[in-house]
Amino acid sequence: MLARNKKKIIKTIIFLLILYVIYMILGATLPFVSHKEVSDSVKEKLDVNRFFGDGVSVDRAAVVEDSNEALDIRLRMLNDAKEKIIMSSFSFKTDRSSREVFATVLAAADRGVKVEIIADGLSAGIDMKRDPMYYVLAAHDNITIKYYNLFSLLEPWSFNGRLHDKYVIIDDRMLILGGRNTSNYFLGTYNTKVLSYDRDIFVYNTAAGTDRSGESVIHEVEEYFYTLWNYKDSEIVFDKVPLSRRSKIASAKNMLEETYQNLLAERSDIMSEEFDYMAYTVPTNKITLITNPIHIMSKEPYIWYQINELMQNAKERVIIQTPYVVLNKTMENDLSKLKGKLKQFDILINSVEVGDNYMASSDYLFNKQDVLDTGATIYEFAGEHSMHDKSVLIDDDISIIGSYNFDMRSVYLDTETMLVVHGEEFNEELENVMNSMKEQSYEVDSKGEYVAGEDVALPELPWWKKIAFRVTSVLFQIIRYLL
């Protein structure tokens, strides 16, 4: 009798587990199968004419291309903060560059600067909870940390709808926004074996502290930040220290304080010396923020709609740089409309040999001809490391930089931020760095054959990866709307 009851219990448990797994799979996928369109009422608010400005705006800007420069400018900005620091990232790690960033943040908080940090509740959450450093930060009266969309085992749809924004705001004076997360993979060169190329835009508000300060795009980004900060799915974290972490808090605080003192001693060039932000930047006519909706479910493609409108209005050229391309039919059709209209229509992406997103690379191999059929000239990047840059050049006066990939996840699922810059000098600056990466790429002809440049070495995939791609390129088609 007991044995029979035990078997029944085991069978019941197995049955419930199977039901739960099915519930998790369906809950994480089915709500996102259907893609929305931008409603007519919203389209009226997304008029692209608002991106153009007359005369010189209060915002100056610079392209931040180099990994060392990306870390240095962040440390400089944070150390210059007087009143407030706002930070947002898909991922905050626990490595050296992260420690240097947050050591500088803690020092700012010690001198009275208010700090607010928001991070993705899944990606960043996995890494941050391992390190007592974040409990040290949150214990400070001037620092608050929140997660956006903590994954719930009872709500599998919360697995999607990630926070993908990456930016830092300093007072009303400075902003850096782009594709870089906070880690050695993107900042500095502390680990050159594991490194990704990426790009940011730095914005300097020349009217900070004056009546015209509100004209700066920095205030748009700040307003957007607070919509996420106050959103129902954003919650304070690290405010309670678990018993398992309490013994490590003191040493973590000492580590941050020592790191900051070392920076002051060893990097006085960025931590102490005056910096000419005017000379570092170029003038712009206008800079505008574009974003996706902030809820966690399938989204109307606000950013895609606006970028596409700008591309369709192009007169001479459209040049797109994105780490990966995962297109649905709507995106393919929109891009195909550019075919034959422009003197130059290029897309620069990672080659599968160097790309770091295995799922996106698998999809590209399966759908490569569809991408070629858009009529764009495709360049596959074959540099030393994977590239993570997200930029669009339109004619000689519109530039777009931010966190947004040309894939369905960025278009329909995640929060994203892009800055649209109207200005010829900035456009030229962005063109130069994009051309530099194009020179490390090889062209793909309409049949998918490679046309290598003289100085470009075609990387070779290991045999096991070739076999794996044959399987996964087909398998991932089932869930490509989540890629």
Q: Mean per-residue pLDDT for 50-66?
A: 97
Provide the domain limits for residue 180.
Answer: 59-279
Q: What is the pLDDT of residue 447?
A: 84
Q: Which of 214, 246, 279 is where one domain is finished?
A: 279
Q: Cα–Cα distance between 462 and 187 in angstroms, integer?
A: 28
Residue 184 — very low, low, confident or very high, per pLDDT cuts 50/70/90? Answer: very high
330 and 446 part of one domain: yes
| pLDDT confidence of residue 129 | 85
Q: Two tokens at 45?
A: 């608010």
Both tokens of 439, joined, read: 């020179």
Are 172 and 80 in a shared domain?
yes
297, 211: one domain: no
pTM for this prediction:
0.94
Give CA–CA dist 186/95, Å, rounded: 11
Beta strands at 377-381 and 344-350: parallel, antiparallel or unpaired: parallel
Helix (H, G, I), strand (E, B) or coil at 480: helix
Residue type, 444: V
> What pLDDT score was predicted for residue 454?
61
CATH code, domain carrying 252: 3.30.870.10
Answer yes or no: is pLDDT of 288 > 80: yes
Same domain, residue pair 331 and 209: no
Residue 244 scores a pLDDT above 80: no
Nearest to 178 by CA among 306, 310, 66: 66
Say yes or no: 21 and 110 in one domain.
no
Which residues pair with residue 148 across a beta bridge? 120, 234
In the chain, the number of structural domains is 3
Positions of E strands within 267-405: 282-283, 286-291, 317-321, 325-326, 344-350, 377-381, 386-387, 391-394, 398-402
Average pLDDT, the chain: 94
**Residue 239, phi then psi, degrees to nearest 5:** -80, -15
Which sign does the torsion angle of CA 210, 211, 217, 220 carry?
A: positive
Higher-confidence residue: 241 or 108? 108
Residue whose tokens read 């150390």: 79
Low-confidence winner among 4-8, 257-261, 363-367, 393-397 (lowest mean pLDDT): 4-8
- The enclosing H or E element of 303 equals helix 302-312
Q: What is the DSSP letter of 299?
A: -
Q: Are residues 268 and 314 in the same domain?
A: no
The Cα 409–Cα 333 span in angstroms is 18
| Alpha helices in 2-132, H assignment, sequence order | 2-29, 40-43, 67-80, 96-110, 123-128
Cβ 229 vs Cβ 146: under 8 Å = yes
Domain shared by 431 and 368, yes or no:
yes
pLDDT surpassing 70 at residue 147: yes
Q: Are residues 14 and 126 in the same domain?
A: no
Mean pLDDT of 15-27: 93
Phi/psi-derived region of residue 474, left when phi > 0, alpha when psi is between -120 and 50, beta in every other case: alpha
With contact defined as beta carbons under 8 Å apart, do 364 and 352 qualify? yes
Residue 458 vs residue 31, higher pLDDT: 31
Residues 395 and 436 placed together within one structural domain of the fold = yes
pLDDT at residue 453, rounded to an integer: 64
When pLDDT is averaged across residues 120-128 and rounded to a whole number, the result is 88
Angle between the N-to-C axes of helices 358-372 and 463-475, in degrees from 0 to 180, rounded to the nearest 10? 70
* Span 21-30, average pLDDT: 93
The better pLDDT of the pair 449, 370 is held by: 370
Same domain, 99 and 136: yes
Judge whether 174 and 205 are in contact, CB under 8 Å. Answer: yes
Average pLDDT rounded to a whole number, residues 196-212: 97
Q: What percent of the chain has pLDDT over 70?
A: 99
Q: Write down the pLDDT at residue 149.
A: 95
Q: Are strands 114-120 and 84-89 parallel, antiparallel or unpaired?
A: parallel
Q: Which of 279, 312, 344 is the last residue of a domain?
A: 279
Tell me which H or E stretch contains 146: strand 143-148
* Boundary-marking domain end, from 217, 252, 279: 279
The CA distance from 28 to 297, in Å, is 10
pLDDT bin (cut points 50, 70, 90) of residue 456 is: confident
**Contact yes or no for 284/423 (Cβ under 8 A):** yes
Residue 321, phi-psi category: left (phi > 0), alpha (psi -120 to 50), beta (remainder) = beta
Instruction: Give 77-97 pLDDT, tens digit per residue.
Output: 999 999 999 999 999 999 999
Q: Tell me, yes or no, whether 469 and 331 share the same domain.
A: yes
| Assigned token pair, 326 | 């995962």
For residues 197 and 327, state if they share a domain. no
* Dist. CA 302–CA 325, nearest whole Å: 18
The predicted structure's pLDDT at residue 465: 87
Check whether 459 has a pLDDT greater than 80: no
Residue range 424-439: mean pLDDT, rounded? 97
Tokens (6 digits) for 33: 């199968």
pLDDT for the residue numbered 1: 58
User: What totals of helices (H) and strands (E) does the chain contain, helices first?
Assistant: 17, 22
More confident residue, 130 or 104: 104
Cα end-to-end span (Å), the chain: 51
